Structure formats: structure tokens, C-alpha cells
Structure 1
Amino acid sequence: MEIIDNHTHLNDEPFRGNEQYYLERAKALDVTKVICAGQDPDFNQRAVDLAQKFDNVYAMVGYCPDVAKDYDQQAEDKLIEQLKQPKVVAMGEIGLDYYWDESPRDVQRNVFARQIEVAHDLKMPVDIHTRDAFGDCYNILKNSNLEYGAVLHSFNGGVDWLNKFLDLNVYFSYSGVVSFTKATEVHESAKAAPLDRILVETDAPYLTPKPYRGHQNETGYVRYVAEAIAKLKDIPLEKVADATYKNTVRVYGLKSKEF
């Protein structure tokens, strides 16, 4: 059995200098490959560097909503350069965040749409952060060309939003939230989501799943996310692991990148 953590921040401060240790801990939990998510210039470069350093680490790069206000032509040129690097598999994380509102909302929307265009031009999928912004996110995606794939990272919507986004042919990545006792909407959407549209992630060091909630998250704990989905769907863990592995390979085009 092999599990892929398709969205983690191994490039974040808690892991710096100890990446090998956490990758070995992950392997002991059958987590054999990880995709390290960028979000700003520092995180993007760090993700690229880690992908070059470790065989089982891949990267995505992008400007998240918090730093959308800093996106300009120079930033875009650098992103394009990074997206062309070996083992960079997606534009991400990008999207909308109306909870923190670190960038003006119109700027967030414009930068989100622009980055989707850039990714499409490079024939790459996008990894999407959306918080308190499902309506605008849906409208932007509906009016975008998603030919090369899209993943809703740490999806926390209910069944209604699941069905709307399914019409756009996107994938749904579940995080540790799916294991939380009170996350009933997420439980229902995970149960309803087609198995061939589900991915799993940690978003480490955030959103630690049960049984380690309250502690720092790490990439190996994606196993417990897969276990939570298996329990909700009443199917074996191995079936979730196999499906999410294949889905991750498919949406990120990983076969063509010698995954």
C-alpha cells in the first residue's frame, strides 16, 4: 500500500533542516511520495529546492491569496521559470481567501484567474485554496479552461458545493478536517464524493487529523486522513489508498514526470 500526500508544506519553518526525518517517518506510515506546496516567493523557491533534493518530493508553485497584492509581471515571469523546473507539477496554491482578506478581493479574483491562464498555457493543473469564497471561486473556475486539471485543496464544502464543482470536473482533496468529530458537512461530502475524484493531503504543519489533533501535523499523518475517509465510506483503507494514489498521478500528470 502506498499513499501520496498531495499538499504539504515541508518547506515551512517547523520542518526546515529536518525534512529527511519527517520523510522517513512518513514512509513508516506507507506515505511514499509528497507534493510540497508553494504560496509566496520564499515558499515557492523552497519547494523547488526540496523537490530537487529528495527523490520522493515534488513541488507546486504559485501566489496564494494573501500575497496576491504582490503579484506583478516580475512575479509572473519568475513563476513561469519555476513551473518549467523538473518535478514541479502544478500551479499552487492559488485561489481566494475572504476570511483573512490579506489582499483586496478584486485583486484576489484577478490574480487567481490570471494564474489559471498561465497554468493552462503551460499545460499544468492548478491547486486551489478557497476559504469563505466558494461562490466566486466557482464562477471563476466555470469561466476558466480547466483542461489540464484542478484540485480543491483541503475541501471543506458540503454536498451541495461538491455537486456543483463536480460539474466542472475538478478533484477534491480532503485534509485532517475530515477526521474532526464536528465537521459533519465535510463528512457528508466525503461520503458522497466519487472515489475517482478524491485526493488526500495533510496541509502540514496545519489541520492535524485525529488521533493527533492538537499537535503539529506532519506529512505521514495523511494516512489518518485516508483512514477517516475509509471509515466514512465503509471501505478498506487499501481501497482509498489505491484510488487516491491513482487520482493524484492522473490529475498532476505525474507519469510524464517520471513519478
Structure 2
Amino acid sequence: MPDTALQLVDSHCHLDRLDLAAHQGSLDNALAAARARGVGHFLCIGVSADNAAVVKALSERYADVDCSVGVHPLDVSPAGVPTLDWLVGELAHPHAIAIGETGLDYHYEPEGREVQQASFRLHLQAAQATGKPVIVHTRAARADTLALLREADLAQAGVLHCFTEDWGMAKAALDMGYYISLSGIVTFRNAASLREVAQQVPADRLLVETDSPYLAPIPYRGKPNLPQYVREVAEYLATLRGVPLARFAEQTTANFRRLFPLARV
């Protein structure tokens, strides 16, 4: 039975990529296990043109799953970026509540800067055209990410997901109206600087996520991540910030609703 005492949201998960071995190969079972731990909603993330249909289908299959549509910076083809017409058309789906994930990642593909920037700009244009918020991935690209966000000057902003940068970048994003989402990385032993950021983000601008199947929190680090483990992330952050878990869950879910007003949560 669902834990109705909590109101958690996994604000960023890849349900189409989960390792379901622990749940007899069943996504139904994996979502049921998350619900039993107080997770009442899931945002399934688009990363490519190929998986757009998959995430939309999952949002149609489950009433507590919404989706985003976009092309991850590491999935952008060197031959070019998706078209604005394609992206806006995909975003017309009633359960596609956000754009992305998009952004910049120079850690793995520094040679792809130009095509990544072109794709990021296109997603930001789609945000301007649709009014839907953007989900931003950024790694080793701090200055360019902030510069493009300032250039776009979006009224509805979005979220920097799986945040791992310093307080200076967090503050710059917050000042532009963006939210900060924290994953299981905050529980890692070597994440002291990220914990300092986690303590400073305003309560009304914070989200929690798993980014499953990646980056499982302690004590599951090194194992496949699952949406049910967003509770571990929330428990850790609630303790770190000195607030009761129920209040933390209520606040982060309210933040999710505010940022993603089309969500069915």
C-alpha cells in the first residue's frame, strides 16, 4: 500500500532505462515499490528523438507519470540539431510537461561545444514558444550554461537537475528564477561542497530526484538506482537541513507543482 504520510516526487527519472531485476523485470512492480515508500509522482525524462515516443507512452500508461521531451547534449547528432517544429510538435502531448533534458556537457564531448550550444538554444526557443519549463543538464560548462540561460531570459525558467556545481552557479541560476534539483550524489562521501550548497538553497526552490538508473544514493551506491530511492535522498536532505521529513516532502512537492503546473500531481 502507498505510504500516504509522505508526498514525495521523483522529479527526474529514466523509467525506460531502469534495471528491473530487483522487481522481476516489471516496471509496474518498480513503481509500486516507490509508491509504497511515499513517492506519489514521477517525471520521466526525454533524452533523444528516439525515446520521445517511449516516454510519452509511459505517461499515457500511468496516471502518476508525466514526461518531458528533448535531446540530451550527449545525444545531439554531430550532423545537426533537431528542428524547432519537431520539438514543439512533440511538446504538444498533454502529458509532456517540460522540455529536455537539454543543456551542455563538455566533460565527455568538449569537441561538441558548437552543436551542443545550437541544440540548447533551440530548446530554449521551444520554451519561449510553449511556455513550458526547461530541464537543464550542465557539466564542465558553467559559464556557457549561465550565458545561454541569461540570453534566453525565460519567464517560466526551469530547473538545473542533478546539481553538482558550486554555490556561485546555484545563486546565479536562482537569481534567474531557476530551481535546483539534488540527487543521490549529495549523500556521497566526497560531496562536502555540494552539501554546503544543499543547505543554502531556499526551501521553496528545491527539488529531489533519483536520475535513476544512475547515481544511486548511499547505501545503494554502485547498484542500479530506482525511483523508490528518492526517499533516501529526501531523508538525507531533510536531516541535513534540519527539518522533518514530512515537511521536506510536502515542500519539495509543492515546489514541483509550482514549477510544472501541467503535472498531474
With normalisation by structure 1, the TM-score equals 0.94
Match of 1:7 in 2: 12
Does the CA-based 8 Å contact 1:176-1:208 persist in structure 2?
yes
Q: Does the C-alpha gap of structure 1 residues 102 and 47 become closer, same or farther in structure 2, counting only changes over 3 Å?
A: farther
Secondary structure, aligned partner of 1:24: helix
What amino acid sits opposite 2:173 in the alignment? F
| Equivalent residue for 1:235, pick from 243, 253, 265 | 243
Partner of 1:29: 37
- Contact between 1:69 and 1:103, CA under 8 Å: does it hold in 2? no
When the two chains are superposed, the root-mean-square deviation of aligned CA atoms in Å is 1.8
Q: CA shift at 1:230, angstroms?
A: 0.8
CA distance in structure 2 between the aligned counterparts of 1:77 and 1:211, rounded to whole angstroms: 44
2:49 matched residue in structure 1: 41
- Find 1:210's aligned residue among 218, 223, 228: 218
Single out whichever of 100-109 and 239-248 deviates more from structure 2.
100-109
Q: Is the 8 A contact 1:71 1:111 kept in 2?
A: no
**Letter of the structure 2 residue corresponding to residue 2 of structure 1:** Q
| 2:152 aligned residue | 144
Unmatched runs of 5 consecutive residues or more in structure 1:
none
Provide Cα deviations, 1:156-175, integer angstroms capped at 9, x if missing partner: 11222221222111000000
- Residue 79 of structure 1 and its aligned partner are, at CA, apart by 2.3
Per-residue CA deviation, residues 29-61 of structure 1 (Å, 9 max, x unaligned), is 100110000101222221111001111110001
Partner Cα separation in structure 2 for residue 104 and residue 179 of structure 1 = 31
> Retained in 1: the 8 A contact 2:208–2:230?
yes
One of 18, 34, 37 as aligned partner of 2:26? 18
Q: Is contact 2:204–2:252 with CA below 8 Å preserved after alignment? A: yes
**Which residue type is aligned with residue 182 of structure 1?**
N
Describe the SS at the equivalent of 1:157. coil
In 2, are the aligned partners of 1:67 and 1:102 still within 8 Å (CA)? no
- CA distance 1:234–1:258, shift in 2 (3 Å): closer
Percent identity between the two aligned chains: 35
1:96 aligns with 2:101: no
How far residue 213 of structure 1 moved from its aligned partner, in angstroms, is: 1.2
Give the number of equivalent residue pairs.
257
Residues in 1 aligned to 2:100 and 2:111: alpha-carbon distance in whole angstroms: 17
Gaps of 5+ in 2: 1-5
TM-score normalised by L of structure 2: 0.92
> Is the alpha carbon distance of 1:123 and 1:71 closer, same or farther for their aligned partners in structure 2, counting shifts above 3 Å?
farther
SS of the residue 2:164 aligns to: coil
Query: 1:158 and 2:163 equivalent?
Result: no
Kindly indicate whether the alpha-carbon contact (under 8 Å) linking 1:65 and 1:103 is maintained by their aligned counterparts in 2: no
Query: In structure 1, how many angstroms separate the alpha carbons of the residues matched to 2:140 and 2:30?
Result: 32
- What secondary structure is seen at the aligned counterpart in 2 of 1:250? helix
The whole-number CA distance in structure 1 between the counterparts of 2:62 and 2:14 is: 14
Whole-angstrom CA distance in 2 between matches of 1:161 and 1:126? 17
